[in-house]
């Protein structure tokens, strides 16, 4: 809906859609959060103890995959697919090797900076080569 309103430059429609999404999220999550806090951790423990192990295992696996999905969404948004391996590298550095997220972010920043600098140099070289042909 937001894209449709954006194409028409309908700011009021975009605001309505944004508020509708926020209110929907509040309506879905607020009662659950309220009841959990109000009834205490005993309720949560009871629910977790009653949940079959295979469901908890599935949720654990899904929770481990969520960062990768977040990375994929981020890559889609910033539209630089050549940087996807950097994000995947960061994910595996954190998950498999236990490196802190901050450490992986610093390594990723350095790798991206090197890649972008190499692209910039390549573009400058191509421009200089085109100028020399004249």
Mean pLDDT of 81-107: 81
Tell whether 21 and 6 lie within a shared domain: yes
Residue 16 has pLDDT above 80, yes or no: yes
- For the chain, the domain total comes to 2
Domain extent at residue 12 = 1-50
**How far is it, in rounded angstroms, from Cα 87 to Cα 4?**
31
Report the chain's mean pLDDT, rounded to a whole number. 83
Question: Which pLDDT band, with edges at 50, 70 and 90, does 48 fall under?
Answer: confident
Residue 116 has pLDDT above 90, yes or no: no
The answer to whether the CB of 87 falls within 8 A of the CB of 74 is yes
What's residue 52's pLDDT?
A: 93
Tell whether 79 and 130 lie within a shared domain: yes
Residue 24 has pLDDT above 90, yes or no: yes
Question: Which pLDDT band, with edges at 50, 70 and 90, does 132 fall under?
Answer: low
Question: Which pLDDT band, with edges at 50, 70 and 90, does 130 fall under?
Answer: low
Query: What pTM was estimated for this model as a whole?
Result: 0.39
Query: Angle 7-9-15 (CA atoms, 0-180°, nearest 5)?
Result: 105
Tell whether 129 and 63 lie within a shared domain: yes
Neighbouring C-beta atoms of residue 120, cutoff 10 Å? 10
The answer to whether the CB of 74 falls within 8 A of the CB of 90 is no
Tell whether 46 and 7 lie within a shared domain: yes
Tell whether 70 and 21 lie within a shared domain: no
The answer to whether the CB of 71 falls within 8 A of the CB of 88 is yes
What's residue 133's pLDDT?
A: 54
**How far is it, in rounded angstroms, from Cα 1 to Cα 10?**
11
């Amino acid at each position: 809906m937001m894209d449709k309103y954006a194409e028409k430059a309908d700011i009021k429609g975009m605001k309505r859609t944004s508020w509708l999404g926020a209110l929907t999220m509040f309506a879905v999550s607020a009662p659950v959060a309220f009841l959990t806090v109000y009834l205490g951790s005993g309720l949560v423990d009871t629910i977790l103890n009653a949940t079959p192990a295979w469901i908890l295992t599935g949720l654990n696996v899904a929770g481990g995959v969520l960062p990768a999905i977040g990375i994929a969404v981020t890559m889609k948004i910033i539209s630089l697919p050549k940087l996807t391996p950097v994000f995947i590298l960061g994910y595996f550095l954190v998950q498999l090797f236990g490196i802190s997220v901050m450490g992986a972010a610093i390594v990723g920043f350095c790798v991206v900076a090197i890649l972008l600098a190499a692209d910039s140099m390549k573009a400058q070289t191509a421009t200089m080569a085109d100028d020399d042909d004249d």
